[in-house]
Amino acid sequence: MLHRWRNWLGRKLPAIGSRFFDSILWEFPARSKDGGLSSGDRPAALTFDDGPHPESTPQILKLLARKNFFATFFVCGERAQAHPELIRAIIDHGHHLGNHSYGHPDAWKLSSSHIIADLDRSAAVIEQISGQPLLWYRPPYGHFTMATIRWARRSQQRIVMWNHLPPDYDSRLPHAEVIRVGRSALPQNPLICLHDNAATAVTGRCDAVLAPLIDYWQEAGLQFCLLPQEAAFRQSITSSEVTLQSGGQTT
């Protein structure tokens, strides 16, 4: 099934992608610069894409508050503009924000100028509503290009991918299948990508899927942390990427 292949690919990509694009965050950063563990023996990060959503976001915030969990919400500027009160609610609950574009375009299908204009617009909208600088950017569908890498560096927003992708984005799947994938083959340092959209707004889905997954992940020994906010953590572009940037074409 497609969702199983996507999750398998998400587990394999970090080892490959980090060789060529190690300025991109592919898994939760397990060790601090002094060599010590950042939090616990098995640190992990919980992230949500696509929000805010008038039905899904309040459900997720309520559940996370009950579980005393904190997450990074990669929000879309268009949806933030439509629901600024939800952006403020995310912040008030102690969570962090990331950039997920303005209108959720696919960077592999549109011109670089279109994508960059969309990202600039999104950053301006989200930062104006939140009053906070954005430090993280997750490209829709995980589709980044050399143009978006350059934009991220210029904008001081580090690109964040994932290595665990439960298929909560597919409302056609039964709860049990989403839970099964969410429990299976957990990476050592999970960077978990979930969703805050119409699919996860399905009545009862939050409590029926997210709640048991959180319980399972805690029982598995994961120590959940927010993505680091320190500006120093956002590494500079590596020499391999500089070579690609200077010699490659904008896509």
Superfamily of domain 14-19+41-228 in the CATH hierarchy: Glycoside hydrolase/deacetylase (3.20.20.370)
pTM of the prediction? 0.85
pLDDT category, 48, cuts 50, 70, 90? very high
Give the pLDDT mean for 64-71: 95
**Cβ atoms of residues 180 and 158 within 8 Å:** no
> Which pLDDT score is estimated for 28?
82
Q: Which residues contact 114 (CB under 8 A, 6 or more apart)?
A: 105
* 73-111 tens-digit pLDDT: 999 999 999 999 999 999 999 999 999 999 999 999 999
The two three-digit tokens of residue 28, written as one number: 């939760």
Q: Where are the domains of the chain?
A: 14-19+41-228
The two three-digit tokens of residue 164, written as one number: 């665990």
For residue 115, the SS3 value is helix
